[in-house]
């Protein structure tokens, strides 16, 4: 059983919670960019979550969950000392971390959590790290302190202008490029529509852009095909070929259609839980 050793609420509407979970076998092997599939109990669905942090000595994995439906709401209500039934991982291919020069790491909404360990590893590899994080408004912007601590420069964007640049993370990126900064690579993680905007913006500029896809997953081991994506006209499975892909090759429109497949069921399954 996988015990929750720390719970920290990052936002309340929507409810976003950080959980540090004892999972020594996963913590021993995990690398930035990989994910786990968790299941709270027998009744819960399996949820893929990209790892936000890990501590090999303590044997813990940190995940961040946003309340989007029944299972995520139940997980977000877990107290310290409670247990997950399943905590499978590490899954997927780790990020390719090397010294590229100047890199920009972009996290939109919940995407700040998975981009954090990648950004930290890129910084540790010797890159100049510029981070852009964004949210709809300042009250649901997550992990600002953590990102500021590892970044040479941090740009914040909020849709409503309550903090930083008014607009989307792409506006923050535009600002960096307008300053004449030469960018060697970009990691962009967040809602599919955000990753599509970043990729569309960087394609004509020829800036390598990596995105992390989080499609519907079932087994997480390449057997069921639920997580399939079209990348450069090839079919790829996000769970074993990704989750990171070249953002200039991903068919985002198809990915969005597939993600919306169970929207009605998700709406019907929503529960009201205190954050
Ligand atoms: Fe089944 Fe990827 S989740 S093939």
233 pLDDT tier (thresholds 50, 70, 90) = confident
Which residue, of 67, 91, 115, is where some domain finishes?
Answer: 91
pLDDT band (50, 70, 90) for residue 271:
low
Residue nearest to atom 4 of ligand 1 (CA): 222
Asked whether residue 129 falls in the same domain as residue 168, the answer is: yes
Do 83 and 144 lie in one domain? The reply is no
Shared domain check, 189 and 118: yes
Residues 56-92: pLDDT tens digits?
Answer: 999 999 999 998 888 888 899 899 999 999 999 999 9
Nearest CA to ligand 1 atom 1: 224
Closest CA to 121 of 89, 154, 99, 146: 99
Residues 223 and 158 in one domain: yes
Percentage of the chain modeled with pLDDT above 90: 76
Q: What is the mean pLDDT of residues 188-211?
A: 95
- What's the confidence (pLDDT) of residue 87? 96
Which atom of ligand 1 is nearest to 215's Cα?
Answer: 3
| Total of domains in the chain | 2
* Whether residue 158 is found in the same domain as residue 208: yes
Q: Does a structural domain hold residue 266? A: no
Q: Are residues 127 and 43 in the same domain?
A: no
Q: Mean pLDDT across the stretch 16-34?
A: 96
Q: Which of 29, 60, 91 is the last residue of a domain?
A: 91
Residue 275 falls inside a structural domain: no
Of 109-123, 208-222, 249-263, highest mean pLDDT: 109-123
**Residues 185, 210: contact at Cβ < 8 Å?**
yes
- Mean pLDDT of all residues in the chain? 92
Contact 139, 15 (CB under 8 A): no
| Ligand 1-lining residues (CB < 6 angstroms) | 217-220, 222-227, 237, 239
Which residue range forms the structural domain that includes residue 123? Answer: 102-260
- Kindly give the number of the ligand 1 atom that is closest to the alpha carbon of 239: 2
Residues 114 and 230 in one domain: yes
CATH code for the domain in which residue 8 is found: 2.40.30.10
Does residue 247 belong to any structural domain of this protein? yes
Alpha-helical (H) ranges within the chain are: 24-29, 70-76, 112-124, 144-150, 169-178, 192-202, 238-241, 252-259, 263-268
Whole-number Å distance, alpha carbon 236 to ligand 1 midpoint, is 10
What is the per-residue pLDDT for 72?
86
Closest ligand 1 atom to Cα of 217: 3
Looking at the structure, do residues 167 and 234 belong to the same domain, yes or no?
yes
CA of 39 to the centre of ligand 1 (A): 16
* pLDDT confidence tier of residue 261, bands split at 50, 70 and 90: low
pLDDT above 70 for 270: no
Residues 114 and 189 in one domain: yes
């Amino acid at each position: 059983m996988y015990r929750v050793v720390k719970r920290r609420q990052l936002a309340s509407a929507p409810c976003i919670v950080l959980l540090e979970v004892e999972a020594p076998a996963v913590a021993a092997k995990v690398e930035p960019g990989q994910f786990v599939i968790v299941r709270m109990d027998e009744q819960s669905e399996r949820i893929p979550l990209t790892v936000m942090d890990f501590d090999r000595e303590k044997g813990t994995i940190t995940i961040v969950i946003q309340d989007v439906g029944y299972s995520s709401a139940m997980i977000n209500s877990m107290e310290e000392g409670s247990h997950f039934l399943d905590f499978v991982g590490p899954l997927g291919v780790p990020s390719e971390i090397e010294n590229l020069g100047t890199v920009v790491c972009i996290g939109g909404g919940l995407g700040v959590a998975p981009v954090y360990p990648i950004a930290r590893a890129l910084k540790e590899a010797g890159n100049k790290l510029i981070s852009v994080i964004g949210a709809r408004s300042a009250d649901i912007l997550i992990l600002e302190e953590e990102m500021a601590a590892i970044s040479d420069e941090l740009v914040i964007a909020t849709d409503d202008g309550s903090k930083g640049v008014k607009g989307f993370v792409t506006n923050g990126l535009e600002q960096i490029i307008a300053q004449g900064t030469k960018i060697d690579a970009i990691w962009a993680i967040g809602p599919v529509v955000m990753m599509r905007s970043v990729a569309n913006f960087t394609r004509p500029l020829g800036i390598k852009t990596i995105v992390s896809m989080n499609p519907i997953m079932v087994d997480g081991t390449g057997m069921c095909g639920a997580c399939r994506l079209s990348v450069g006209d090839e079919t790829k499975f996000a769970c074993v070929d990704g989750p990171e892909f070249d953002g200039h090759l991903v068919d985002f429109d198809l990915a969005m259609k597939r993600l919306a497949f169970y929207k009605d069921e998700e709406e019907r399954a929503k529960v009201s839980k205190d954050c």
